[in-house]
Amino acid sequence: MKKYIWGILYGILLTAFTGYVLFDTFVITKVYQTVPLEKEGADMAEQDDNATDPQEPVSEQQGSASNTVVDSYTDDDISISISEYVINHTTVYVADVQLSSPEYLKTAFANASYGKNVTAKTSEIAEENHAILAINGDYYGAQEKGYVLRNGVLYRDSAAKDQEDLVIYQDGSFEVFEEESVSADTLLSNGAVQILSFGPALVKDGQIAVTENDEVGKAKTSNPRTAIGIVDDLHYVFVVSDGRTEESEGLSLYELAEFMQSLGTQIAYNLDGGGSSTMYFNGEIVNNPTTSGRSIKERSVSDIVYIG
CA-CA-CA-CA dihedral for 282, 287, 292, 294, to nearest 10: 100
Q: Are 125 and 293 in contact (CB under 8 A)?
A: no
How far apart, in whole angstroms, are the C-alpha atoms of residue 121 and residue 119?
A: 7
- Across the range 200-226, mean pLDDT stands at 86
Would residue 14 count as lying in a domain?
no
Q: What is the reported pTM?
A: 0.82
Element (H, E) at 4: helix 2-26
Instruction: Give tens-digit pLDDT for 88-117.
Output: 999 999 999 999 999 999 999 999 999 999
3-state percent breakdown (helix, strand, coil) of the chain, nearest 5: 25, 35, 40
Would residue 250 count as lying in a domain?
yes
Give residue 31's pLDDT: 73
Beta bridge partners, 300, equal 121
Instruction: Give tens-digit pLDDT for 166-193.
Output: 999 999 999 999 999 999 999 999 999 9
Expressed as residue numbers, the domain containing 201 is 29-307
Instruction: Give tens-digit pLDDT for 38-56.
Output: 655 434 334 444 444 433 3
How far apart, in whole angstroms, are the C-alpha atoms of residue 226 and residue 230?
A: 14
Per-residue pLDDT band at 213 (split at 50, 70, 90): confident
pLDDT at 3 over 90: no
How far apart, in whole angstroms, are the C-alpha atoms of residue 248 and residue 301?
A: 22
Cβ-proximal residues to 270 (8 Å cutoff; 6+ apart), any chain: 198, 199, 200, 201, 202, 216, 225, 226, 227, 253, 256
Would residue 18 count as lying in a domain?
no
Q: Are 58 and 66 in contact (CB under 8 A)?
A: no
CB-based burial label for 283 (10 Å; 0-12, 13-18, 19+): exposed
Would residue 127 count as lying in a domain?
yes
- Running DSSP on this structure, what letter comes out for residue 14? H
How far apart, in whole angstroms, are the C-alpha atoms of residue 114 and residue 156?
A: 10
More confident residue, 256 or 214: 256
Dump the DSSP string for 97-146: EEESSGGGEEEEEGGGEEEES--EEHHHHHHHTT-SEEEE---GGG-SSS
Give residue 303's pLDDT: 98
**Residue 225: HSE in the Cβ half-sphere, 13 Å Cα cutoff:** 35
Would residue 52 count as lying in a domain?
yes
Give residue 150's pLDDT: 98
Q: Indicate the range of 59-73, 153-167, 289-303 predicted with least confidence.
A: 59-73
Tell me how far the alpha carbon of residue 40 is from its chain's centroid: 23
Can you say whether residue 166 is alpha, beta or left, with left for phi > 0 and alpha for psi between -120 and 50 degrees? beta
- Across the range 203-231, mean pLDDT stands at 87
pLDDT at 9 over 90: no
Per-residue pLDDT band at 305 (split at 50, 70, 90): very high
More confident residue, 117 or 214: 117
Per-residue pLDDT band at 153 (split at 50, 70, 90): very high
pLDDT at 291 over 50: yes
pLDDT at 293 over 70: yes
Number of separate domains in the chain: 1
Identity of residue 69: V
Would residue 167 count as lying in a domain?
yes
Per-residue pLDDT band at 206 (split at 50, 70, 90): very high
Nearest to 72 by CA among 134, 132, 135, 137: 132
C-alpha distances (whole Å) from 71 to each of 51, 54, 55, 80, 282 are: 13, 6, 5, 8, 9
Would residue 9 count as lying in a domain?
no
- Across the range 190-216, mean pLDDT stands at 94
Would residue 99 count as lying in a domain?
yes
- Running DSSP on this structure, what letter comes out for residue 278? -
Mean pLDDT score of the chain, rounded to an integer? 87
